[in-house]
A and B are shown apart, each in its own frame.
Chain A
């Protein structure tokens, strides 16, 4: 046994340290692999940790759009119904107002007859009735022709009605076709108009009208009306009558058009018919010019026109008061740098802001935002703490990850807006609270005398350290909710953090804005 000198002792341990070679343990690699996966965002947990704000935003947007489309659909249905009611009521009122003045001798009967002939099914029955009446007596012919004329008038009113409402919009046309078409003519049938054209409108529909000789006797005064109301394809409609549906034993087995023209040219009109002709001519100026809208005093088309359709919708939207308060929740990528260079991977930021309208277009805004700012500072940009001057070596760069709580105070001005969207601009100032700062100092290889490789801590508040500026677009998808996209910048006016850096930040806020309604 002997004393163990320092150099011998050192040699022993140095040799053991050099020759020690530990066996590889695969479990250690698995541990490191998990760490690397987490660092690279390859694990579901890491992926979720990295992308959860984007996921939430996507869900919000999806939900918002779905809500918007559903709400929009319901709104359209409501508007459609309102328009239908408004239109029907308007037209009904007009006609009923006009009715007493224009009511004629056979209005009640005509109404009942028209009701019967209002549908195609009943039309043939009416026609048969008409045929029998004509063959029985001339008086009854007159009566029947009154009925027919009522039917024709009603049909024409229908047509004019359709033409009327074709002009404003397709939607109105559909409404009229679906509902008003049935109601309006029934009312209008009471408005007079007695001695009109025979039932060739039924013929137009191919229901098989046929005329007797006695019918033809009154055709003379009907001709102008017939020409005016000439169907788009007269031959087709009439040929249907004559070819396929005329009774074989009927003596009126010729086309109506031919009959009409022949009668107009050649038939001598009796006194009775002349009288009827005159009265019909008189009526013609009032009721037979269907194409001219204003020529139907009982209709007053202008008043039944567009306004009632759109009025209810506008009335609802215009009555919305401008809300005073709004709350915003936002997410943004946080792109920070020192000196507008060396941008690294973005951090994340979330915000909860409250807005108050001081003027109709001017809001004051404040709240809180928490951000993770990842940036890189070069050697000269990061102020080395004076208390660390015992370390002569300096890092060539510093990697920083700082958790910052930001209190903004902004003014927002709506540049332009409409019912659904608006453009706005914001400006203000922010105070930073450096909640947690982590700095890794990067030294060049083989730098000796390195004492500080990293630092973490908190340096606290930096009041009004940044100026804010942003502009954005807001889309409102319901009365209370809207989505915003708002690019922004945070310009440093004070140095912040342990390294006293000029921290510049940019990004784009994706926010959802909620406008609460306070009941009075």
Chain B
């Protein structure tokens, strides 16, 4: 990743403040991958991720004057993407009942198989989680939110946040185990 708080970035941001489409396009291209990686792990599909990504960039371009340029633009952008994803979750899936995870047996995973998996495949496992588990897992494990913060963001209790995280991990282990078994069966044939 390049150093974002550079002179080039400031120039781009100035252009974006003037609603210059070329500057906006360049900024969009530069942070597209980073923003998309965030959106993917908060959504069920790539299409949904694109929707959130563009909503997030629209917020960025329309509220850029509130950005403190002495701080990290990348962090600010990441936070906006997460908040947009959370907004999306609140609006679209707020009434969805949290499904429980079946009590899993002890799961064993072959690390050699996992290391061969592409990053996209691993992230796609997160996408297969239910929204509540996906958000708690992403917020807690990848974006470093505390359970208190997660509880506030998702309007749930801290205990529910911890529980959801635990169940999300169990679910992911099961998925990885399933991948192991499938690979083993494929190799053994």
A residues within 8 Å of B by Cβ?
Answer: 1-4, 6, 9-10, 12-25, 28-29, 31-33, 35-36, 39-40, 390-391, 442, 445-446, 448-451, 453-454
A2 to B106, CA, bound (A): 10
Task: List, in ascending order, chain B residues with CB within 8 A of A20's CB.
Answer: 33, 37, 40, 119-120, 123
The answer to whether B37 touches A22 (Cβ under 8 A) is yes
- List 6 other contacts, CB 8 Å, given A22-B33, A445-B79: A1-B108, A1-B180, A17-B38, A20-B40, A25-B32, A450-B153
Q: List 9 A-B contacts (CB under 8 A).
A: A3-B108, A9-B169, A10-B169, A22-B37, A32-B58, A36-B61, A451-B152, A453-B83, A453-B86
Q: Which of A13, A22, A40, A450 contacts B83 (CB 8 A)?
A: A450
The answer to whether A4 touches B68 (Cβ under 8 A) is no
Task: Known contacts A1-B180, A2-B111, A445-B76; decide if A450 and B142 are in contact (CB<8 Å).
Answer: no
Interface size on B, residues (CB 8 A): 59
- Residue B71 lies at the interface, judged by CB distance under 8 Å to chain A: yes
The answer to whether B122 touches A32 (Cβ under 8 A) is no
Closest to B177 in A: A4
The answer to whether A1 touches B24 (Cβ under 8 A) is no
Task: List, in ascending order, chain B residues with CB within 8 A of A28's CB.
Answer: 32, 50, 53-54
Task: List, in ascending order, chain B residues with CB within 8 A of A391's CB.
Answer: 152
Task: List, in ascending order, chain A residues with CB within 8 A of B108's CB.
Answer: 1-4
Closest to A32 in B: B54
- Residue B93 lies at the interface, judged by CB distance under 8 Å to chain A: no
- Residue B110 lies at the interface, judged by CB distance under 8 Å to chain A: yes
Task: List, in ascending order, chain A residues with CB within 8 A of B25's CB.
Answer: 29, 33
Tell me the B107-153 residues at the A interface (CB within 8 Å): 107-111, 114, 119-120, 122-123, 125-126, 137-138, 141-142, 148-149, 152-153
Q: Which of A2, A12, A22 contacts B36 (CB 8 A)?
A: A22
Closest 3 CB pairs of A and B: A21-B33, A22-B36, A16-B122
A451 to B154, CA, bound (A): 7
A273 to B40, CA, bound (A): 128
Tell me the B1-46 residues at the A interface (CB within 8 Å): 19, 21, 24-25, 28-29, 32-34, 36-38, 40-41
Min CB–CB distance A196 → chain B (angstroms): 90
Q: Which of A1, A17, A25, A32 contacts B57 (CB 8 A)?
A: A32
The answer to whether B19 touches A40 (Cβ under 8 A) is yes
- Residue B176 lies at the interface, judged by CB distance under 8 Å to chain A: yes
A495 to B53, CA, bound (A): 37
- Residue B163 lies at the interface, judged by CB distance under 8 Å to chain A: no
Task: List, in ascending order, chain A residues with CB within 8 A of B180's CB.
Answer: 1
